[in-house]
Amino acid sequence: MIGVAVLGSTGSVGESTLDVLARHPQRFELVALAAHRNAAKLARQVLTYRPRYAALADAQASAELEGLLGAAASHTRILRGVGALEELARLPEVHTVMAAIVGSAGLASTLAAARAGKRLLLANKESLVMAGGLLVAAVRASGATLLPIDSEHNAIFQCLPPGGRAGETPPGLKRVILTASGGPFRDLPREALAGVTPEAACAHPNWVMGRKISVDSATLMNKGLELIEACVLFGLTPAQVDILVHPQSIVHSLVEYVDGSVLAQLGAPDMRTPIAHALAWPARMDSGVEFLDLLKAARLDFQAPDLDKFRCLALAQAAARAGGSHPVLLNAANEVAVQAFLERRLNFTGIPAVIETVVQHGTGGQSGGLDEVLAADAEGRARAHERILGMTKSASVKGAHA
C-alpha cells in the first residue's frame, strides 16, 4: 500500500485526488488530510475516508474541526497550526504528498515534502514561482520525485523523454507551448472588463476550479504563473515558452523538438487525468475521466492571446524575464489584488493595475534564500494593500464630487 497525504483536500484538486484514490483502495492508503481553514468540509472528509491524521493550518478552525468531529473520529489524530501541514508532509508512513494548498500558504509544506524525499505531486504553482530554485535544490538533495499536476505541465512532462531531472532542459527540446482556454472573458470587449463581477469571473467555461484560480484564469495570470513554473520545472528560458489560446481545452500543451517534431497531450478537461498519471507514474491507471471523442469535439481552434486586453499575462512575462524577486512580488501582489476583487473592494481591471505598481516599485533583487523570498513576498503584499487603499480613497473622493 502506498501512503498518501493530501494537503489542500477541501479544494477542487484535493477533491479530485480523493475521487481517484477511492477508485484504487487496494493500491493506496489515505494517511492524512489537511486544509487551511474549511473545518466543515474537512470534517465530512474525515468521516468519509477515515485517515490516520487530519490538520488545519488555522488554529481557530482546528478547534472547530475537533468540535464537529467529537468522538465520531477517534480513528483520526487532529493536528493544528501551520506547522502541522509540514509535520504531515514528513510522516514516515507517507510516501506521496499531493501539494494542493492554494497560493503562498502552500510553500512551507511543499518544501517540507521535498526535503523529506517524498514523491511530490505539485499542484501549488506558487511554490515554484516564489522559490523555484530552492524547491528544485531540495528535490535533488533529498532524492525526492517531483511530478507536476497542473494539466499543462503534466502534459509537457508526458511529452518529454524519460529520465529527465527537475530543472534541467531535456535534450533536443526547442520550445514548449502552453494552451489557455482564454477564460470566461475571452470574447468580451476590453471596455466591458471593468464592470465584470466575481461571479462572472469564477464561471469558467471548461474547468471546475476554486475561486482564486478561476479569477487567475479570467485575467490570464494563471497562464503567466504557469510560464514561470515551466521555466523552473524544465530548465527553460521565457523565450522558449509560448502561449496559445485554445478555447476547447483539449490540447493541454505541446512540446516542439529541434527536428521539427511537435508532441501534444490531449484529453478531456478534467484534473483527474494528471492526478491519476502522477499517482501511478510510471505506470497508468483508471482515473474515472470520460474518454476523449474527437468526432464529438469536431474542431480545435488556436489564437494568440491579447496582451493589451489581458495585462496580467504581459506582466508575468516581464517578471519571468527580469527574474530575481520579480516573480515573488508579482505573485504576492496578485494574491492580494484577487482577494480584494473577490471581496468587491477592487474592480477587475484594477487587478493588473495593482500588480504593475507593485512590480515596478519593488526592490526586485535576488531571492536566493527562503528569508529573502519571504521578505519579497511581505514587501509585495504591503505595497499591494497600500495601492488598493489609495485606489479606494481616490474612488471615494471622485464619488463625493460627482
Q: 178 near 241, Cβ under 8 Å?
A: yes
Q: Is the peptide bond before 282 cis (omega within 30 degrees of 0)?
A: yes
Provide Rg for the chain, Cα atoms. 21
pLDDT of residue 396: 53
What does the pLDDT look like over 28-62, one tens digit per residue?
A: 999 999 998 899 999 999 999 999 999 999 888 88
CATH number at residue 367: 1.10.1740.10
**Domain endpoint, select from 309, 344, 365:** 309
Contact indicator for 149, 125 with CB cutoff of 8 Å: no
Amino acid 129 reads V
Same domain as 328, residue 305: no
Domain assignment present for 92:
yes
Q: Is 260 helix (H, G, I), strand (E, B) or coil?
A: coil
Choose the weakest-confidence range: 103-112, 123-132, 206-215, 350-359.
Answer: 206-215
Query: Is the same domain home to 142 and 176?
Result: no
Q: Are residues 183 and 120 in the same domain?
A: no
Q: Are residues 15 and 144 in the same domain?
A: yes
**Domain assignment present for 276:** no
Number of domains composing the chain = 3
**DSSP string covering 78-98:** EEESHHHHHHHHT-TT--EEE
pLDDT at 257 over 90: yes
Whether residue 301 sits in one domain with residue 172:
yes
- 100 with 124, same domain? yes
Instruction: In whole angstroms, give the CA distance from residue 193 to residue 349.
Output: 6
348 contacts 196 by C-beta, under 8 angstroms: yes
Q: Is residue 345 part of a domain?
A: yes
The answer as to whether 158 is a domain residue is: no
Q: What is the mean pLDDT of residues 4-33?
A: 97
Q: Residue 48's domain is classified under what CATH number?
A: 3.40.50.720
User: Measured between alpha carbons, how far is 87 from 21 in angstroms, rounded to an integer?
Assistant: 22
Identify the pLDDT of residue 224. 96
Mean pLDDT of 182-188: 92
Same domain, 101 and 178: no
In a shared domain, residues 397 and 374 = yes
Is 155 domain-assigned? no
pLDDT at residue number 148: 96
In this structure, the strands spanning 145-148 and 2-7 are unpaired
Same domain membership, residue 335 and residue 208: no
Which 3 state secondary structure label does DSSP give 229? helix
Residue 315 in domain: no
Residue 160 lies inside a defined structural domain of this protein:
no
25 & 72 share domain: yes
pLDDT > 70 in the chain, percent: 96
Largest CA distance in the chain: 68
pLDDT at residue 84 greater than cutoff 60: yes
| Section 310-334 average pLDDT | 95
Query: 106 in a domain, yes or no?
Result: yes
Burial call 186-218: b when 16+ CB within 10 Å, e when fewer = beeeeeebeebebeebbebebbebbbbbbbbbb
Name the nearest CA neighbour of 271 among 228, 209, 181, 218.
209
Adjacent-strand bridge partners of 244: 179
Q: Do 184 and 141 share a structural domain?
A: no
If asked whether residues 10 and 79 sit together in one domain, one would say yes
Cβ-contact 65, 54 below 8 angstroms: yes
**Tens of pLDDT, residues 339-391:** 999 999 999 999 999 999 999 987 766 667 888 998 999 999 999 999 999 88
346 membership: H or E segment, kind and range: none
Domain that holds residue 289: 168-266+282-309
Q: CA 165, CA 230: separation in Å to the nearest integer?
A: 13
Flag whether pLDDT at 76 surpasses 70.
yes
- Of the candidates 306, 142, 159, 287, the residue with the CA atom closest to the CA atom of residue 219: 306
